[in-house]
Amino acid sequence: MAEIELFAVEEEIVEVVNWLLDRGCILVPDMHYDSIAIVRLTQVSEIQKIAVSTPHFFVIREDLLESPLSVREVATTDKHFFYVDPRTGGPSLQFYWGRHFEKNGRQHLSETWLSYYDWYEDSVTGERKKISRALLEIYFGCGKMIRAKRRKIQPGKRGFWIGPIVEKLVRSGTVLLGLEGMAAGGADIVP
């Protein structure tokens, strides 16, 4: 899975989402549905509301869909719901809205990411297909926008992008989740 990972606050995440929406993308929440009808979001305010409880989204563009997203049913004696099968139908990108929260008197920030799988299963034919060049252009374009305003930190094998707002938060003690082993939760990687 290819991935662009960044640590970002709400206003920076909104900037990424607006960039995607401005290019005709639709965000579909990865959540439990009451029926096979899935929610398709095109307004950042709607996405922000849902992201509070459902941070993961499928990013699609109707004109680039080669097969509909597949919805699966779970029915047991205890529960009944529908969900989007992550690699059936598409192609799609994956987006995760990172969290900024307080725990034990300290601020914490989780990563935000945009990613894609190299292949998906056509929901009509069952054929395995590669992600389209047109959707890859959206992914790489968004990555270029993210990198233009941030710098890369690489405390290990994985690289993360951070901007001036996050650098300031880390200097004041905010913990970057996943980098807790570093001094002051990542402060040693910020100049």
pLDDT tens-digit readout, 67-120: 999 999 999 999 999 999 999 999 999 999 999 999 988 899 999 999 999 999
**pTM to 2 decimal places:** 0.91
Matching residue, tokens 């047991």: 76
d(CA 108, CA 119): 34
Residues 155 and 182 sit within 8 Å (Cβ to Cβ): yes
**Residues of the chain falling short of pLDDT 50:** 183-185, 187
List the one residue out of 69, 87, 80, 81 whose CA is nearest residue 27: 69
Output the six-digit token pair for 47: 């996405």
What's the confidence (pLDDT) of residue 184? Answer: 46
Are 161 and 6 within 8 A, CB to CB? yes
Q: What is the pLDDT of residue 188?
A: 54
Q: Provide the pLDDT for residue 4.
A: 96
**Using an 8 Å Cβ cutoff, are 139 and 2 in contact?**
yes
pLDDT at residue 190, rounded to an integer: 57
